[in-house]
């Protein structure tokens, strides 16, 4: 930069001219250094994120630590670093809003900058230079409390997103429970279908022998083969489901490559000990007010009230202080001089209804949050009512499955007696029925745990299987 152009012509004392020159030179060097620092910081941020989505996706597939074998539900809920995409979104949104609040807080602080101008103008019928190079200091002294209200509103919005983040973590843990249970049930289902396929194969093999001796018709043989093929297809589907459920579990954990091998049956005594008779439907429906999502909406509503207040204060006066030092014009001795200090007042008188329109906009958003709160509360009450009646039926369902289990045990003893007395050549489908009884009871235990876990979640309570439980910030 050629600084001499700013000072031609220079009139006045050499001391003032030298002062202005050195001030401008120092300011310019400072500006250049600051710009270099900003560029370095920006380049560092760009380099940090230069990997791109492909690198992020690849890195997100593998957990930092390998899964134990066998894998337990308690380990997943308490020790494993679960990754929830939705929770990460809530946390990121909270960070963005907090950053916006930080930017807002800096706007009214002291600002130091350099003002420069190359200019020509007409004065007294004469074309003159009107250059400027000065150091400027400015600060807003009073803005009608608008900045504080906006900042308070943004921090309230950030707190709401943080509440959603904690709620999503709890909901994600219930999803992990469901995926873990599904993987175990897939093992039970494969056992059932494998035994059923073996029975149909034996029946088909016997039918082939009898058909070769001319004792059964082609229709009987084809029927036996059709039954076997259907059982084989069911077994193949169950075998594929073993891998599918484990892949879905890994994906639910947040790491597609974290595929578990053996799964240990979970200890669900904390839910088995609960009694449905202690539940009160009316009290449960009132307890949804503690649900984190509702609390987040309420927090948003409170924060939005601050935005309404901000809009109402937009026509308040603002006061700011400004000072300039340097070469304020090409003729400092005749006109502007070498420094200037201002205390300015800005008072809106008429804005064509802009403030009222802004108030109506923020008020409409406030009404939207209220409507969303009421609708979500209604949905939660419906969900909690449905869970209540499902839990009330658990004991009846348990008796049904227990009775079928007793029947399967007796049927196995009956089939074994026939086989030992050579009345029957095999145990028939007794083993399949016993496996079905075990499947039904296991599925019931998992259903019981999930219903109670979901009921706790709707009431804003932490998952009973986690130690320590997450706490929602007040």
Q: What are phi and psi of 342, to 5 degrees?
A: -125, 145
Question: What separation in angstroms does the CA of 182 have from each of 61, 394, 412, 416?
Answer: 21, 19, 27, 32
Spatial distance between the Cα atoms of 154 and 304, rounded to a whole number of angstroms: 9
Has residue 334 been placed in a domain? yes
Q: What is the sign, positive or negative, of the torsion defined by CA atoms of 324, 327, 328, 331?
A: positive
Write down the pTM of the prediction.
0.77
pLDDT tens, residue order, the chain (474 aa): 333 333 333 344 444 444 444 444 444 444 444 545 555 554 554 444 445 555 555 545 677 678 888 999 999 999 888 888 888 888 888 889 888 888 888 888 899 999 999 998 887 888 888 888 999 999 999 988 888 888 899 999 999 999 999 889 999 999 999 999 999 999 999 999 999 999 889 889 888 988 888 888 999 899 999 999 999 999 999 999 999 999 999 999 888 887 888 999 999 999 999 999 999 999 999 998 989 999 999 999 999 999 999 999 888 899 999 999 998 888 777 767 889 999 999 998 998 998 899 999 999 999 999 999 999 999 999 999 999 999 999 999 999 989 988 888 887 777 777 766 665 555 667 788 888 999 999 999 999 999 999 999 999 898 888 754 434 344
Has residue 287 been placed in a domain? no
Has residue 33 been placed in a domain? yes
Which one, of 455, 437, 322, lies nearest residue 385 by Cα? 455
Domain hosting residue 2, numbered range: 1-59+111-142+317-350
DSSP conformational letter for 256: T
Has residue 66 been placed in a domain? no
Burial class from Cβ neighbours inside 10 Å (0-12, 13-18, 19+) for residue 149 reads buried
Q: What is the mean pLDDT of the chain?
A: 83
Has residue 434 been placed in a domain? no
Q: Do residues 148 and 441 touch, judged by C-beta distance below 8 A? A: no
Has residue 126 been placed in a domain? yes
Question: What separation in angstroms does the CA of 431 have from each of 158, 256, 282, 412, 413?
Answer: 58, 36, 46, 7, 10
Q: What are phi and psi of 455, to 5 degrees?
A: -65, -45
Has residue 6 been placed in a domain? yes
Dihedral of the alpha carbons of 309, 315, 319, 320, in degrees to the nearest 10: 90
pLDDT in tens, 144-197: 888 888 889 999 999 999 999 988 999 999 999 999 999 999 999 999 999 999
Which one, of 152, 205, 164, 184, lies nearest residue 262 by Cα? 184
CA Rg value for the chain: 38
Has residue 221 been placed in a domain? no
Count how many domains the chain has. 1
């Amino acid at each position: 930069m050629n600084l001499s152009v700013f000072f031609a012509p220079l009139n006045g004392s050499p001391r003032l001219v030298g002062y202005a020159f050195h001030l401008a030179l120092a300011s310019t060097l400072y500006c250049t250094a600051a710009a270099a620092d900003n560029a370095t910081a920006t380049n560092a941020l760009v380099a940090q994120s230069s990997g791109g989505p492909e690198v992020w996706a690849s890195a997100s597939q593998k957990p930092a630590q390998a899964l134990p074998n066998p894998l337990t539900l308690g380990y997943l809920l308490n020790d494993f670093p679960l990754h929830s995409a939705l929770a990460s979104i809530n946390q990121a949104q909270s960070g963005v809003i907090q950053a916006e609040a930080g930017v807002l807080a800096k706007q009214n602080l002291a600002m130091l900058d350099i003002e420069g101008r190359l200019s020509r103008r007409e004065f007294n019928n004469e074309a003159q230079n009107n250059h400027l190079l000065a150091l400027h200091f400015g600060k807003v002294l009073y803005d009608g409390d608008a900045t504080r209200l906006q900042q308070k509103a943004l921090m309230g919005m950030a707190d709401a997103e943080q509440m959603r983040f904690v709620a999503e973590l709890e909901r994600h843990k219930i999803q992990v429970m469901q995926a873990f249970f599904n993987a175990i049930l897939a093992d039970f289902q494969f056992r059932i279908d494998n035994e059923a396929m073996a029975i149909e194969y034996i029946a088909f093999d016997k039918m082939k022998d009898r058909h070769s001796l001319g004792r059964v018709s082609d229709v009987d043989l084809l029927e036996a083969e059709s039954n076997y093929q259907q059982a084989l297809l069911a077994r193949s589907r169950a075998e594929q489901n073993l891998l599918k459920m484990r892949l879905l579990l890994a994906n639910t954990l947040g790491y597609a490559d974290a595929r578990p091998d053996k799964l240990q049956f979970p200890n669900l005594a904390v839910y088995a000990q609960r009694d449905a008779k202690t539940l009160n439907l009316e009290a449960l429906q009132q307890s949804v007010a503690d649900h984190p999502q509702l609390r987040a909406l309420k927090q948003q509503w409170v924060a939005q009230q601050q935005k309404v207040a901000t809009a109402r204060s937009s026509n308040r006066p603002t006061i700011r202080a400004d000072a300039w030092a340097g070469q304020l014009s090409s003729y400092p001795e005749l006109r502007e001089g070498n420094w200037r200090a201002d205390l300015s007042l800005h008072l809106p008188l008429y804005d064509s209804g802009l403030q009222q329109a802004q108030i109506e906009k923020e008020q409409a958003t406030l009404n939207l949050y209220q409507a969303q709160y009421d609708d979500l509360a209604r949905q939660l009450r419906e969900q909690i009512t449905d869970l209540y009646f499902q839990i009330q039926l658990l004991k009846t369902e348990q008796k049904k499955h227990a009775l079928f289990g007793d029947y399967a045990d007796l049927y196995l003893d009956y089939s074994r007696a026939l086989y030992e007395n050579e009345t029957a050549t095999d145990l028939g489908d007794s083993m399949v029925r016993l496996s079905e009884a075990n499947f039904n009871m296991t599925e019931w235990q998992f259903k019981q745990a999930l219903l109670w876990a979901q009921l706790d979640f709707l009431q804003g309570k932490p998952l009973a299987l986690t130690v320590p439980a997450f706490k929602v910030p007040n």
